[in-house]
Amino acid sequence: MSGQSAGAGSLLRTLVTDTAGISMELLSAVRDRATTPYRYMKPLIKSAAGVGEPRVAPTPYRVVYTRGAMRLLHYEPTRRRHRTPIFFVYSLINRHYILDFLPGRSLIEFMLGRGFDVYAIDWGSAGEVERRLGWDEVLNGFVARCARWVRRASGAPDFTLYGYCMGGTMALAYASLHPEGLRNFVAQATPVDFHNAGVFTSWTRPGRFDVDALVDACGNVPTALMEAGFSAMAPVQRSTKWLEVFRRIDDPDFVTTFLAMEHWAADNVPFPGEVYRQYIRDCYQENRFFQGTMAVGAERVDLRNIRCPLLNIIADNDTIAPPSSSEPLNEVVSSTDKEIMRFPVGHIGLSTSSKGPKQIWPKIADWIAARSEPMQGGA
Amino acid sequence: MSEAKARPRRIHPLALSMKAIGYLTSPETAPGKVFVAGERRLTRVFEWLSQNDTYLDLAGKAMRAGFHLRRDTVSAAEAWLHLFRLPTAGDVSALRGELRAVHDEVEALGAQLEVVMEALEKQRAGEQRDVGQSLQRAEEQRAGEQRDARQSAPRVEKGGAP
């Protein structure tokens, strides 16, 4: 009897403390006018499953260089086996830590384990100052300066440039403008032929999508608008996917991975206005990037200038950068050593799925290692 | 057997309700099958909409009108506020941005200085190690030379000439 009353007391205590915690988090979401379901569902799921905050971006790093909101992060391997470092360029839309997702599911952690010296750009959150940034300043200023710091800090004469998603498009543009100092290029889920880029090609058609009106009205593209765009790709699944967590609420690994993914998906940053204007116009609407007529400053982005070994990684089920948009890259570059690797996953699955550390990343690491300068005696 | 092991794990009431919702919407249960059928139908409708040119053109027009309205409203409000020499939200946001940029620059200088200092320290440590090694080498060489000189010098027997 006394055992039952103690049990009821502990249950009541749990309920009271949980309710208080949930209420605080929900109030905070309402106060922030959060538009993503994640902010409202997270406290409930965490409480029901008894899990903590997902430990995203677990790999330690140090900041090598910063400019405005941007930071260049350095991840140092315990034992460096390759002199040639890897320099990751990620998209301006989301946060970079999808590459350093969770312990044991981090591409960056995996590359460190393989003995690579790793650098990654974290674009930060665009504010008023970044609103006026153009492609010229982003590529010839930010990325070029980061590339110099990568060479300087690693002590290597060249590096492997690794672009992901829109970061891949930007990295390709950079590589065509500054092919010197590039040893290898890896493009992961990178849209190249924008007239074959699935629903986005149709949605952004000139006359239908007025990018000037958007940028003139909003400056930087608000996160809510970007989220609405991504939600519109699969609006029903966006809501019903939470039911799968309900069903598997007893599986803490599944719940943690799910929450980590949703945390990242909800952690969008505003897209710098002028970069967005040129991105939509020159890439999606006029396909100038693919045709070699996109102007950046006084120069032209011509993918034929890329001559270094190239690896094109494509996700078969990618709806953001569909295979039809990524595949043509290998036809337009001048590289003689070029390869396409395809994997049966989605856009994000390349970096976060359980297949990553077992089936996807070892192949990528082997390809890069075979084309990197080995470290003399290790470090 | 410990008490913790003997007692079954208590399920959180919230988890129970979630599991119930999950069960009712699972494709393996009868109500779930109905739910999944409805979900599929709704998905087809949204898919059709997302590819329908008329709908997309209309949505595009609505968005454009909304953006123009927003731009005009904001610029009119700003013009009025400026007329009375009052700061607008845009002005405050711009000022905040400038301040943040200055803060970022200071932070950047600090971070870069740290990296440079680290590189210099590494270089100085390397130089000191090199100097130490060359001193040690010179010392060893001198000791070797002295040893050689001693070995090659004519040996003088104690006790006078043979």
Find, in chain B, the residue whose alpha carbon is nearest to that of A204: B60
- pLDDT value at B84 more than 80: yes
What is the spatial distance between Cα A190 and Cα A180, in angstroms, rounded to a whole number?
Answer: 21
What is the spatial distance between Cα A268 and Cα A222, in angstroms, rounded to a whole number?
Answer: 9
Residues of B in contact with A123 (CB under 8 A): none
What is the spatial distance between Cα A63 and Cα B113, in angstroms, rounded to a whole number?
Answer: 11
Of A62, A71, A137, A210, which to mutate for an interface test with B (greatest number of B Cβ within 10 Å)? A210
Specify the pLDDT at position B34: 94
Tokens of B114: 């740290």
Contacts with A311 (C-beta within 8 Å, 6 or more apart), sequence order: A184, A185, A186, A187, A338, A339, A341, A364, A367, A368
Facing residue for A127 by CB, picked from B22, B64, B100: B100
Residues of B in contact with A129 (CB under 8 A): 97-98, 100-101
Specify the pLDDT at position A301: 97
Q: What is the mean pLDDT of residues A301-319?
A: 96
Specify the pLDDT at position B107: 77
Specify the pLDDT at position A102: 93
Residue carrying the six token digits 């069960």: B23
- What digits encode the pLDDT tens for the residues B1-49? 444 444 555 678 889 999 999 999 999 999 999 999 999 999 999 989 9
Specify the pLDDT at position B144: 86
Facing residue for B25 by CB, picked from A217, A237, A243: A243
Contacts with B97 (C-beta within 8 Å, 6 or more apart), sequence order: A127, A128, A129, A131
| Confidence grade of residue A20 (pLDDT, cut at 50, 70, 90) | confident
Facing residue for A247 by CB, picked from B12, B26, B94: B26
What is the spatial distance between Cα A354 and Cα A263, in angstroms, rounded to a whole number?
Answer: 18
The per-residue pLDDT of chain A, averaged, comes to: 92
Rounded percentage of chain A residues whose pLDDT exceeds 90: 72
Q: What is the CA radius of gyration of chain A?
A: 22
Compute how many other C-beta atoms are within 10 angstroms of the C-beta atom of residue A224.
Answer: 14
What one-character-per-residue DSSP string does B6-60 give? Answer: HSPPPPPHHHHHHHHHHHHH-TTSHHHHHHHHHHHHHHHHHHHHHH-HHHHHHHH
- What digits encode the pLDDT tens for the residues A248-303? 999 999 999 999 999 998 888 999 999 999 999 999 999 999 999 999 999 999 99
The CA distance from B9 to the nearest CA of chain A, in Å, is 11
- pLDDT value at A18 more than 90: no
What is the spatial distance between Cα A70 and Cα A272, in angstroms, rounded to a whole number?
Answer: 12
Specify the pLDDT at position A2: 55
Active site residue A210: no
What is the spatial distance between Cα A296 and Cα A173, in angstroms, rounded to a whole number?
Answer: 9
Chain B (79-98) residues lying within 8 Å, Cβ to Cβ, of chain A: 93-94, 96-98
DSSP state of A100: E
Contact A289/A170 with Cβ under 8 angstroms?
Answer: no
- pLDDT value at A80 more than 80: yes
Q: What is the mean pLDDT of residues A56-82?
A: 92
